[in-house]
Amino acid sequence: MTAPLHIDHPLVVVNDIETTAASFRALGFNTAPTGYHPWGTSTSLVMFPRSAIEIMSIHDTSLLDSHAIGSFAFGRHMAQALSEREGITLAALYSEDAAADRRLLEANGLTCQGRVDFRRRVRIPGHDWDEAVVSLEIFYDPALPRASNFLCQQHRPELIWVLQWMQHPNGATGFASHTYAAVDPDRLADRFRRIFGNAATHRTDAGYRIETGRGHIHIRPPGQWGREIGLPDEPTIAPADAVCIAMEVIVPGLSLLRDLLDSNGVTYVEESSGISITGFAPYGNTIIRFVRPPSQ
């Protein structure tokens, strides 16, 4: 393995990508210009160093079944998830060598559907159009359709982690955690144990905590995380489902963020450990919470 695995970017699939991107900007995020995948999805990224939030939608239904690997087609999967509800449907894992990391995960008992290599047109500020070159290794579990993963290797990272796109008015620098609601927390914890290791997986009174190369993952029964962070409710999940429902984002301090949210008319709940945005529908059915750096 070339670097410790961590969640590179969760995929938030939505009906209207521009409206959702505008909602994220109201939270103080900068969003990269909308781009397009060869399998018919559109993408707008909130970039952090070596991670991102990817807002996705459907722009060309005629391409949804292209670049299929066996029974799995990336575009079709996103469209099917969106037909059920908006929200996070897959999570990419950061990889500097997708082929090597694939072998590691397969040795740990996970099944890889195969590899997808593709290019996407990108234009960074002040430059001509260019192409990002990306390799994906798909680890899709039909029993966990919204909690599956794929390895993501950027062969031209200078076209992705662009300084101008990583400078956010709210000062955000990356993820502190991701929270999954799971009807069967043990099943999902077993998957993450195979990805991040036995030593990284900890049983707690509330569920599970999994340490990753950057930040950690919570697994909770449905309805629990909202109560823990002071929200009246949380996204509803389907029976027997497991899905990422929340992202904690690191900001340097809460005072600047509070002023920004107030000026933009965003409502929130604040307690000692962070600020949680009260509505999740505008953000792709996903709870957004802000916390200070771990050392503070």
Strands (E) in 224-264, as ranges, are: 242-250
Structure token pair of residue 125:
């500020």
Give the model's pLDDT for residue 240: 82
Could you tell me which residue, 272 or 245, shows the higher pLDDT? 245
CB 152 within 8 A of CB 94: yes
pLDDT beyond 60 at 269: yes
In the block, residue with structure tokens 């919204």: 146
Average pLDDT of the residues in 269-280: 93
Q: List pLDDT tens digits, range 97-153.
A: 999 999 999 999 999 999 999 999 999 998 999 999 999 999 999 999 999 999 999
Helix (H), strand (E) at residue 291: strand 287-291
DSSP SS3 for 152: strand
- Write the CA distances from 257 to 31, 62, 72, 153, 285, integer angstroms: 17, 42, 41, 32, 21
Mean residue pLDDT across the chain: 95
Dihedral sign from CA coordinates of 286, 292, 295, 296 = negative
Classify strands 268-271 and 208-211 as parallel, antiparallel or unpaired.
unpaired
Q: Please give the model's pTM, rounded to 2 decimal places.
A: 0.95
Q: List pLDDT tens digits, range 15-47.
A: 999 999 999 999 999 999 999 999 999 999 999
Render the burial of 32-59: b for 16+ CB within 10 Å, e for the rest: beeeebebbbbbbbbbbebbbbbbbbbe
pLDDT beyond 50 at 1: no
Q: List pLDDT tens digits, range 157-207.
A: 999 999 999 999 999 999 999 999 999 999 999 999 999 999 999 999 999
**Cα 203 from Cα 78, distance rounded (Å):** 31
Strands (E) in 108-265, as ranges, are: 114-122, 130-139, 148-154, 174-182, 201-203, 208-211, 216-220, 242-250
Question: Cα(first)–Cα(last) distance of the chain, in Å?
Answer: 31
- Write the CA distances from 195 to 7, 66, 149, 200, 213, integer angstroms: 11, 28, 10, 10, 11
